[in-house]
């Protein structure tokens, strides 16, 4: 009778305890400590503030769906809104002038060229068919030191952008630290980092208390406190009334910025410069570094004030046509990496 020899088990004599002591789990150093982000995720992702040197930014080209506005023309104009409105509520365009698509594209290309001229790496999210607001890459997420929190957009016309943004961020290599779920509403335009351990979130018609609760809980894990301030009336985002220019300087619109937010800035030692009347879009610019900002070229009075009074370097860029779509330079960009 033949017997098949029993093969020795190479692990039979190995001590489980010794094995796991040698190759077991290593909770420390932590996720973003001691070069772990660089070693595991390829780079020191995220941003601890709004003013560190901008290294990587995400943008998206204006949607071809805006042609539909021009094609429908006056049939889509609502005098009571002073805007063109999609009968199916898929888009709107402010004012009575139809979109100048050539200018829109030229200004966006100039914006991206200006970023690259500053040495910023540009990550371009793919175009989404039918999403005319998807150019505003600020809104579907927030970024902090270490990674991104994926938000949840309020308008039904924008629902679905979150998936594309998540895929784009993940493909770039950036960690996803959490996602807003349930009935929470979080849009990145209403999130402002003022200190590495402190950010502000403006609740509004677009961002709700439940969104703040979830965001605050997620960022508490990162050692960041998120204070809630209430936007007045139908103002939607904090970035329409505040732009951090340095650790101790912010450009604000005092006519619409929440009073409690302005008070907190002063308590934190942040000086506030007021955007000049009639140039409200000046707050929706993009800091390239401390006291160096990519700024709408048509807002010359506020630009001069910032340069002469506060020693802020202005990098002008044409970006006026996009305002009619509801956003500016800040709305059209999201930092994936700043120096921190």
The pLDDT, as a whole number, for residue 12 is 57
The pLDDT, as a whole number, for residue 64 is 87
Q: Which residue has the higher pLDDT, 63 or 272?
A: 272
**Confidence class of residue 167 from pLDDT cuts 50, 70 and 90?**
very high
pLDDT (tens digit, 9 = 90+) per residue, 216-249?
999 999 999 999 999 999 999 999 999 999 999 9
Q: Which residue has the higher pLDDT, 15 or 52?
A: 52
- 338 and 53 in contact (C-beta within 8 Å)? yes
Q: Which residue has the higher pLDDT, 65 or 187?
A: 187
pTM, to two decimals: 0.92
The pLDDT, as a whole number, for residue 14 is 58
- 285 and 328 in contact (C-beta within 8 Å)? yes
Query: Is the per-residue pLDDT at 10 higher than 80?
Result: no
For the segment 254-267, the average pLDDT, to the nearest whole number, is 97
Q: Which of 100-104, 135-139, 190-194 has the lowest mean pLDDT?
A: 100-104
Query: Is the peptide bond preceding residue 29 cis, with omega within 30 degrees of 0?
Result: yes
**Confidence class of residue 16 from pLDDT cuts 50, 70 and 90?**
low
CA–CA separation, 154 and 190 (whole Å): 12
For the segment 280-290, the average pLDDT, to the nearest whole number, is 97
The pLDDT, as a whole number, for residue 129 is 87
Query: Is the per-residue pLDDT at 333 higher than 80?
Result: yes
Q: Let me know how long the chain is.
A: 340
- 65 and 92 in contact (C-beta within 8 Å)? no
Residues 6+ apart with CB under 8 A from 153: 139, 140, 159, 161, 162, 185, 187
- 193 and 144 in contact (C-beta within 8 Å)? yes
Residues 6+ apart with CB under 8 A from 106: 318
pLDDT (tens digit, 9 = 90+) per residue, 50-74?
999 999 999 999 998 888 888 888 9
The pLDDT, as a whole number, for residue 23 is 77
For the segment 130-135, the average pLDDT, to the nearest whole number, is 94
pLDDT (tens digit, 9 = 90+) per residue, 28-50?
999 999 999 999 999 999 999 99
CA–CA separation, 60 and 134 (whole Å): 7
CA–CA separation, 34 and 22 (whole Å): 21
The pLDDT, as a whole number, for residue 197 is 98
The pLDDT, as a whole number, for residue 90 is 85
Query: Is the per-residue pLDDT at 5 higher than 80?
Result: no
The pLDDT, as a whole number, for residue 69 is 86
- 202 and 237 in contact (C-beta within 8 Å)? yes
Only one residue has tokens 């509520």, namely 89
- 135 and 112 in contact (C-beta within 8 Å)? no
Domains, the chain, with CATH or none? 40-338 (3.75.10.10)
For the segment 206-223, the average pLDDT, to the nearest whole number, is 98
Q: Which of 247, 229, 250 is nearest to 238 (CA)?
A: 229
The pLDDT, as a whole number, for residue 9 is 64
Q: Give the torsion through C-alpha atoms of 229, 205, 54, 175, to 10 deg.
A: 100
The pLDDT, as a whole number, for residue 3 is 62
């Amino acid at each position: 009778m033949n017997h098949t020899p029993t093969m020795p088990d190479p692990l039979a004599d190995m001590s489980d305890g010794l094995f796991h002591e040698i190759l077991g789990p290593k909770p420390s150093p932590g996720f973003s400590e001691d070069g772990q982000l660089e070693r595991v995720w390829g780079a020191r992702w995220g941003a601890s503030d709004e003013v560190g040197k901008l290294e990587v930014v995400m943008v998206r080209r204006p949607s071809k769906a805006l042609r539909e506005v021009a094609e429908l023309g006056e049939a889509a104009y609502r005098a009571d809104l002073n805007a063109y409105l999609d009968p199916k509520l898929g888009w709107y365009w402010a004012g009575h002038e139809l979109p100048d698509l050539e200018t829109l594209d030229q200004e966006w290309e100039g914006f991206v060229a200006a970023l690259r001229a500053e040495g910023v790496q540009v990550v371009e999210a793919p175009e989404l068919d039918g999403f005319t607001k998807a150019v505003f890459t600020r809104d579907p997420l927030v970024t902090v030191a270490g990674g991104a929190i994926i938000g949840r957009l309020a308008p039904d016309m924008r629902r679905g952008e979150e998936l594309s943004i998540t895929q784009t961020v993940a493909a770039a290599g950036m960690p996803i630290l959490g996602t807003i779920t349930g009935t929470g509403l979080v849009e990145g335009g209403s999130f402002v980092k003022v200190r590495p351990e402190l950010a502000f979130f403006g609740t509004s018609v677009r961002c709700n208390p439940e969104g703040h609760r979830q965001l605050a809980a997620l960022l508490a894990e990162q050692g960041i406190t998120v204070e809630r301030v209430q936007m007045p009336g139908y103002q939607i985002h904090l970035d329409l009334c505040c732009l951090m220019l340095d650790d101790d300087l912010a450009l604000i619109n005092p006519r619409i910025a929440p009073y409690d937010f302005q008070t907190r800035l002063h308590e934190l030692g942040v000086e506030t410069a007021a955007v000049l009347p009639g140039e409200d879009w000046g707050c929706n610019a993009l800091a390239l570094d401390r006291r160096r900002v990519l700024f709408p070229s048509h807002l010359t009075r506020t630009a001069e004030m910032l340069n002469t009074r506060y020693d802020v370097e202005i990098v002008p860029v044409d970006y006026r046509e996009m305002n009619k779509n509801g956003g500016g330079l800040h709305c059209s960009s999201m930092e994936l990496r700043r120096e921190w």
